[in-house]
Amino acid sequence: MTVAEGTVIVVPAKAETHFSAARASDWWIPAFAGMTKPLVRRIFFGLVLLLAIIAGLSPAQAVRPDEMLADPALEARAREVSRDLRCLVCRNQSIDDSDADLAHDLRVLVRERVTVGDSNEQVIAFVRARYGDFVLLRPPFAIGTALLWGGPLLVLLLGGLVIARFYRRRDEAAPPPLSPEERQRLSALLAEEDGSR
């Protein structure tokens, strides 16, 4: 956009004061320069603390000690299976994460099946037969889930097409190279300019 001469551009006064109050030089130039200022330091440590809290918020374990199997290998397998099964009460948690009563029952069931010698796949099939595909946190590839699984690829493909089109158009739009006559004229003009300096 070009601004016609004589146009008065009004900048709200507030924007100005806001900017100066923040002391732009402290904020944006070397990160450490501002660290001597108490406010900035406080914000910095606040952020570090926040990150630490977020990191500490990894999903709490719902598995109760009395559910656990004595055999660590079987228990590990039960945990592995549990992480792939959706809690149907809370929907977006696995039964391994959920405190719901049904999740507790299913965890016990998974441990029972593992104990009697089912493979991981057999345990999952057992639960799936009762609750359907919805119980799987990793949905199987089917017609109904094709878009879900193929979506990222589709987006990648579309993006590639857009980029390819952009470059093709740019190449087409580029002016044709100079003809020998034009080249001659250009060097003549350039020489003339050099001479006049």
The region that residue 12 occupies, defined by phi over 0 for left and psi between -120 and 50 for alpha, beta otherwise, is beta
Judged by CB, which is closer to other proteins: 121, or 133?
Answer: 133
Q: How many Cβ atoms from other residues are within 10 Å of residue 118's Cβ?
A: 17
* Cα separation, 111 vs 113, whole angstroms: 5
86 exposure class (CB count in 10 Å sphere: 0-12, 13-18, 19+): buried
Contact between 67 and other proteins per CB under 8 A: no
Q: How far is the CB of 41 from other proteins (least distance, A)?
A: 46
Sign of CA dihedral 79, 85, 89, 93: positive
- Establish how many alpha carbons lie within 13 A of residue 140's alpha carbon, considering only the half-sphere containing its beta carbon: 9
* Out of 93, 120, 128, 136, the residue judged to bind other proteins by CB under 8 A: 128
| Among 109, 118, 120, 137, contact with other proteins (rule: CB under 8 A) | 109
Stretch of 28-36, 45-53, 101-109, 155-163 contacting other proteins, by CB under 8 A: 101-109
Residue selected from 5, 66, 101, 181 as contacting other proteins according to rule CB under 8 A: 101
Q: Strand, helix or coil at 94?
A: strand
Q: Is 131 in the site for other proteins (CB under 8 A)?
A: yes
Asked if 159 interacts with other proteins (CB under 8 A), we say no
Please identify, using beta-carbon distances, which residue of 40 and 136 lies nearer to other proteins.
136
* Whether 88 contacts 67, CB under 8 Å: no
Binding other proteins by CB under 8 A: which of 134, 141, 149, 166? 134
**What is d(CA 31, CA 22) in angstroms, rounded to the nearest whole number?**
14
88 binds other proteins (CB under 8 A): yes
Number of shown-chain residues binding other proteins (CB under 8 A): 14
- Select 83 or 104, whichever has its Cβ closest to other proteins: 104
